[in-house]
Homo-oligomer: A and B are copies of this chain.
C-alpha cells in the first residue's frame, strides 16, 4: 500500500486554492507568510503522540501544549476538565456584545497508528514530501517549510493528525496572527473548543458542554473537521452521517479443534459467518435487511442538490484504486445519504499462524453509518432481528455449554449505541454567512454538501448549546485520514488560513 499509488490520481488544482496570494491587496502579511510562521509550532505539535488509548499522559501533554500555544498567540485559553484528559478552550480577547459569537470546534486526538504500515519510521515524526514526475513521494528537508525560499503548495506533510485534526487548530492560530499583523478587525466573537476524545476513548463532549454551557454559548458552531470536496474547492457541509459499531460473532465448537480430526464434522464458523453476512448485503453493496433504508429522504429536490456537487467519480475510483464502486444511490453524494453496513475488521483463528485448526469462532466488527432518518438504535434492532430470522440464537458473551448443545446456530452481537446523524437546513443563516465569506475571499460559490460520509460529534453541541451547526472542512480529501500515511497538502493550510480569516471578518448578523 504505497501512498504514491493512493494519491497519484487526484489533481488538487482548483485555481482559487492553488494560489497563495492574498485576497486583500493591502495585507502586509499574506496567508502563506502567516502559515510559514506557525509551521515550526505545527511540527512540534505533531510530535506529541495523541492516541488516547496509548497514553493518557501524552494527551495531557497535547492539552498543555495547546493551552500555551493559544496564549502565545494572544488568545485567552484554559483547560476544561473532563475526567481523563482535558479539552482546551480559547477565546479571542475583547469579545463585544455587539457582535454575534461563533464557536469553532476541532479535536487534538488522533486515530490509532500501525507504524509498520507507514512509509516513514514514525507517524509522530513528521516528514515533508514532494511528488516526483512518476507520482512517487520522496522526503525533502522539513526546514524547507520554514526557510526563506518559496514553499510549494503541492508539498505534503505526513504524520498522524497532520490533517485530522491538528491542522485546522494551527490554521485558527495563523488566521488570528494574520488579522493582528494586518490590523484587521474581527466581525464576530471567536470562541474555540478543542476536543480530546473525538477519535478514542469514551466521548466526553456532552459532559463538558453541560458543565460549561455559559462559557461555550454561541450563535453558531463551526466544526473544523473532515476533508474538503475532492475538487479542493471551498466546501460547506451541512450535515454528516451518524453511526454505530458492534461485533457480530458466530460461535462454533467450545475450543479450536484439529482440522483433520474434525474437518467435515465440526461446524466451520468462518463459513457460517460468511453465509450469514451474505444474507445481509448484496454483492453490489445494497443492504438486504428489511427496513434498513426506511427513512432515507431521497426526494427529487435532494437528488438535484446532490447531483450539483461537482464530483469526478472516475478520479475518486482511480485514487483509491477500484474499477467499480458499490451501487448504493445513483452517485457518490447519494451514496453518502444512505446508511452503510461495513466490516472494519474480521477475525477467525490466528492469522499468520499455520495451525491446522477449525477456530472456535469467527467475528466481524461492523461499522454502520446512519443518516437522519435511520436512527442507530433502530438499525441495530433490525440487524439483531435479521440474525435471529436466519435461525441464530443470540447469546450475551460466550455461550454456556447448555446453549452450545441446544442451538446449532449461535451468535452474539455486542456493542451498538453510537452517534446521531445531523443535517442543518440548506437555507439556514449560518450557511449563508459562511458562503458569503467564501465568495468574498475566493470569488466562487462553495461546494454545498448536504451530508458528508464521516461522523462528527455534533450532537452534544447541538443539544447542549442549541446553536445551528455548520461543517467547514479545510484539509485535502486525499489525506489518508484514519489510515497510514495521513498527510496535509501545504496549499490547503494556506487556503484554510484565508477561509478562517474570511469567516472571522464576516458579520453573522448581516445575512447573505
Interface residues of A in 322-367 (CB under 8 A from B): 322-326, 328-329, 332, 335-336, 338, 340, 342-360, 362-365, 367
Q: What 1/0 flags go to A1-21 for Cβ under 8 Å of B? A: 111011010000000000000
- Contact B316 A259, beta carbon cutoff 8 Å: no
Interface residues of A in 457-489 (CB under 8 A from B): 477, 480-485
- Contact A1 B326, beta carbon cutoff 8 Å: no
- A268's partner among B258, B316, B326, B358 (CB-CB below 8 A) is B326
Residue among A260, A281, A317, A367 having the largest count of chain B Cβ atoms under 10 Å = A260
The reply on A278 being an interface residue by CB < 8 A is yes
- Contact B483 A405, beta carbon cutoff 8 Å: no
- A259's partner among B265, B340, B405, B485 (CB-CB below 8 A) is B340
- Contact B258 A482, beta carbon cutoff 8 Å: yes
The reply on A283 being an interface residue by CB < 8 A is yes
The reply on A112 being an interface residue by CB < 8 A is yes
Segment at the B interface, from A301-309, A448-456, A500-508: A448-456
- Contact B259 A322, beta carbon cutoff 8 Å: no
Expressed in whole angstroms, the Cα–Cα distance for A318 and B405 within the complex equals 7
Expressed in whole angstroms, the Cα–Cα distance for A112 and B357 within the complex equals 12
| B residues near A61, Cβ cutoff 8 Å | none
The reply on A321 being an interface residue by CB < 8 A is yes
The reply on A257 being an interface residue by CB < 8 A is yes
| B residues near A243, Cβ cutoff 8 Å | 260, 356
Given contacts A367-B356, A455-B260, A482-B258, contact A265 B362 (CB under 8 A): no
- Contact A351 B340, beta carbon cutoff 8 Å: no
The reply on A245 being an interface residue by CB < 8 A is yes
- Contact B483 A256, beta carbon cutoff 8 Å: yes
Segment at the B interface, from A146-154, A247-255, A427-435: A247-255
Given contacts A326-B268, A346-B346, A347-B351, contact A405 B482 (CB under 8 A): no
| B residues near A226, Cβ cutoff 8 Å | 261
- Contact A320 B253, beta carbon cutoff 8 Å: yes
The reply on A111 being an interface residue by CB < 8 A is yes
The reply on A299 being an interface residue by CB < 8 A is no
The reply on A100 being an interface residue by CB < 8 A is no
- Contact A264 B349, beta carbon cutoff 8 Å: no
- Contact B283 A275, beta carbon cutoff 8 Å: yes
| B residues near A365, Cβ cutoff 8 Å | 349, 351, 354
Output the least CB separation between A232 and chain B (Å).
15
Given contacts A356-B367, A405-B317, contact A453 B322 (CB under 8 A): no
Output the least CB separation between A141 and chain B (Å).
26
- Contact B404 A323, beta carbon cutoff 8 Å: yes
The reply on A274 being an interface residue by CB < 8 A is yes
- A408's partner among B267, B323, B342, B348 (CB-CB below 8 A) is B323
The reply on A40 being an interface residue by CB < 8 A is no
| B residues near A258, Cβ cutoff 8 Å | 453-454, 481-483
Given contacts A258-B453, A369-B263, contact A321 B253 (CB under 8 A): yes
| B residues near A275, Cβ cutoff 8 Å | 274, 278, 283
The reply on A273 being an interface residue by CB < 8 A is yes
- A285's partner among B268, B340, B482 (CB-CB below 8 A) is B268
The reply on A161 being an interface residue by CB < 8 A is no
The reply on A406 being an interface residue by CB < 8 A is yes
Expressed in whole angstroms, the Cα–Cα distance for A353 and B326 within the complex equals 25
| B residues near A259, Cβ cutoff 8 Å | 340, 342, 344, 367, 369
Interface of A toward B, CB cutoff 8 Å = 1-3, 5-6, 8, 111-112, 114, 200, 226-227, 240-241, 243, 245, 252-268, 270-275, 277-278, 280-281, 283, 285, 316-318, 320-326, 328-329, 332, 335-336, 338, 340, 342-360, 362-365, 367, 369, 401, 404-408, 452-455, 477, 480-485
Would you mind naming 21 contact pairs between A and B with Cβ atoms under 8 Å apart?
A: A1-B254, A2-B254, A114-B350, A241-B260, A255-B485, A258-B483, A261-B452, A264-B328, A266-B325, A267-B326, A278-B278, A321-B401, A342-B358, A343-B348, A343-B362, A344-B349, A344-B355, A345-B353, A346-B347, A349-B365, A356-B455
